[in-house]
Amino acid sequence: CAKIGYEGKYITFQAIYPPDYEKNTKYFGRTHDFFSFEKLVETSHPNRWAKQGRFVLFDNTSAHFLTATISGLVAEDSGSYSFGVDIKLLPDLIADEIQLTVIT
């Protein structure tokens, strides 16, 4: 999936996750290369906004729906992003990557 954002504005990403993961920690992050993923914001508190700098994340557990927003976009925000669900003792459940291009 690809999205276009504009410098100085905000952009919102959304993803659905499977039932039975309502209590798991969720996160939104950026892939820098094949081996490098940076968690930008995470939450273990359902139905409340989590904020880390310019990044916010909301976990709607009744709809199994994640929403993340990046505010104050800059050209350097262009890149690949994805959501994840932390699963103890197993590989995390990762949503498909979203390619963001920020236009200046």
Q: What is the CATH number of the domain that holds 24?
A: 2.60.40.10
Report the C-alpha gap between 57 and 40 in whole angstroms: 9
Model confidence, pTM: 0.92
35-81 pLDDT, tens digit per residue, is 788 999 999 999 999 999 999 999 999 999 999 999 999 999 999 99
Give how many domains the chain has, as a whole number. 1
Number of H helices, E strands in the chain: 0, 10
Q: Give residue 80's domain range.
A: 2-103
Please list the residues that pair with 58 across neighbouring strands.
49, 67
